[in-house]
């Protein structure tokens, strides 16, 4: 009997990490749909904890932009940020090396701003042979046009564009498990 393949970019808990980019105090209030970004980032963090998959986050120029907002910090617990001055997370210390060392080949991205730090990070991750899935409902910019063009550009260069709920159920793969019940509660 022939065995059928699954799509090779489907997310799996053992190889996938969540990367939260720069959801910081001083810039968040001017971001379009910022509450949606915060709510979906929290769902992703909780879902990744349920699935026992690693979570990373960055902070850009904290002197000017402040630190990660408190509701997200509360979910992150004792996870430490990767500080950066570059727009791309490729300049966030040894973050990319850490992802490789832990054999994490698939990276789920949420954060701000879509057309600057998120886009440059996504493109650099792809260039370094990571498979990237973007939670489109967990990303935004100040202006809708910047968000829209960034999403399209990242898609053209190989990023999978998805949503928070789709990402979490993709990582689950099957229903009927205790993890499924927990994730189902998160997305309602």
Q: Which residues are catalytic?
A: 22, 84, 117
Structure tokens at 45: 């963090």
Taking the C-alpha atoms of residue 122 and residue 126, their distance in angstroms, rounded to an integer, is 6
Backbone φ/ψ region at 133: left (φ over 0), alpha (ψ -120 to 50), beta: beta
E-assigned strands of the chain? 16-21, 55-60, 82-84, 106-112, 131-140, 160-162
Residues forming a β-bridge with 59: 83
For 22, 46, 90, 97, 149, the CA distances from 127, given in Å and listed in that order, are 21, 29, 11, 14, 19
Burial class (CB in 10 A: 0-12, 13-18, 19+), 73: middle
Composition of the chain by helix, strand, coil, percent to 5: 45, 20, 35
């Amino acid at each position: 009997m022939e065995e059928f393949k699954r799509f090779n970019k489907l997310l799996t808990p053992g190889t996938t990490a969540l990367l939260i980019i720069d959801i910081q105090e001083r810039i968040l209030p001017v971001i379009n749909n910022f509450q949606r970004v915060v709510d979906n980032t929290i769902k992703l963090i909780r879902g990744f904890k349920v699935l026992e998959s690693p979570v990373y986050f960055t902070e850009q120029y904290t002197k000017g932009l402040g630190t990660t907002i408190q509701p997200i910090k509360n979910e992150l617990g004792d996870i430490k940020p990767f500080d950066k001055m570059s727009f791309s997370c490729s300049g966030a210390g040894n973050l990319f090396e850490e992802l490789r060392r832990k054999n994490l080949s698939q990276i789920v991205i949420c954060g701000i701003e879509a057309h600057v730090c998120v886009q440059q990070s996504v493109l650099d991750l792809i260039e370094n042979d990571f498979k990237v899935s973007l939670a489109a409902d967990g990303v935004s910019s100040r202006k809708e046009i910047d968000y829209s063009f960034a999403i399209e550009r990242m898609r053209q260069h190989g990023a999978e564009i998805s949503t928070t709920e789709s990402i979490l159920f993709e990582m689950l793969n099957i229903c009927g498990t205790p993890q499924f019940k927990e994730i189902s509660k998160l997305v309602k």
